[in-house]
């Protein structure tokens, strides 16, 4: 997929920092548990032109009730290029949604939406709730163009290791002050 966009990205200049607006949808999923009846999860994320909203929109799709947050911000930064590359080259590119259900809220709210594996990993390491949803094709294409233009993998240099036995350095037995003929 990234190779397809290589030619186009050479002719199109994409700014280093890109701000996308996305709509994030949540659903309640029934669970078999003695403590809870349902669990929240992100259902999908899509690019949008909506302005950010403090209220969610309730909608029904395929007989399922979804709650949609409009206009959540998602920023692309050149420093996250490796994370974008890892996501795009995975078997199933996805969008990561870090969300919270604060006390008094009836539905969860998206806090951070990202397409960087590395950023999602940092949020998970911090103990945040991060779920993933499949990345739409349109978003994959746009991210591939951005990544091709702004990410250059680091050239890995071969590191010459120190030879611990060079120049008559001690062997393990010699470290204890014993020479080969004095063991006993």
As a whole number of angstroms, the distance between CA 158 and CA 168 comes to: 25
Record the tokens describing residue 30, joined without a space. 């029934």
Q: What is the largest CA-CA distance in the chain?
A: 85
- Mean pLDDT, range 55-68, rounded to an integer: 86
DSSP state of 99: E
Domain assignment present for residue 46? The answer is: yes
Q: pLDDT averaged over the chain? A: 84
pLDDT tens for 65-86 read 899 999 999 999 999 999 999 9
Domain assignment present for residue 65? The answer is: yes
CB 2 within 8 Å of CB 49: no
Quick one: residue 127, left, alpha or beta (phi over 0 = left, psi -120 to 50 = alpha)? left
Domain assignment present for residue 52? The answer is: yes
Domain that holds residue 135: 3-150
As a whole number of angstroms, the distance between CA 88 and CA 2 comes to: 8
Q: What is the model's pTM?
A: 0.75
Whether 168 shows a pLDDT value over 80: the answer reads no
What is the end-to-end Cα distance of the chain in Å, rounded? 67
Record the tokens describing residue 157, joined without a space. 């240099």
Domain assignment present for residue 134? The answer is: yes
Domain assignment present for residue 173? The answer is: no
Domain assignment present for residue 183? The answer is: no
Domain assignment present for residue 172? The answer is: no
Domain assignment present for residue 175? The answer is: no
The total domain count for the chain is 1
């Amino acid at each position: 997929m990234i190779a397809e966009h290589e030619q186009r990205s050479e002719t199109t200049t994409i700014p280093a920092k890109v701000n996308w607006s996305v709509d994030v949808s949540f659903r309640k999923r029934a669970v078999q548990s003695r403590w809870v009846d349902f669990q929240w999860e992100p259902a999908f994320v899509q690019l949008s032109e909506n302005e950010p909203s403090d209220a969610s929109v309730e909608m029904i799709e395929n007989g399922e009730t979804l709650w949609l947050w409009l206009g959540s911000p998602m920023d692309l930064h050149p420093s996250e290029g490796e994370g974008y590359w890892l996501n795009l080259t995975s078997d199933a590119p996805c969008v990561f949604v870090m969300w919270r259900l604060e006390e008094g809220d009836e539905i969860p709210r998206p806090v951070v939406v990202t397409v960087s594996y590395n950023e999602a990993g940092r949020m998970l390491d911090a103990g945040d709730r991060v779920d993933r949803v499949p990345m739409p094709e349109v978003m994959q294409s746009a991210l591939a163009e951005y990544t091709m233009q702004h990410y250059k993998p680091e050239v890995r240099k071969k590191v010459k290791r120190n030879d611990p036995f060079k120049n008559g350095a001690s062997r393990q037995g010699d470290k204890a002050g014993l020479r080969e003929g004095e063991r006993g």
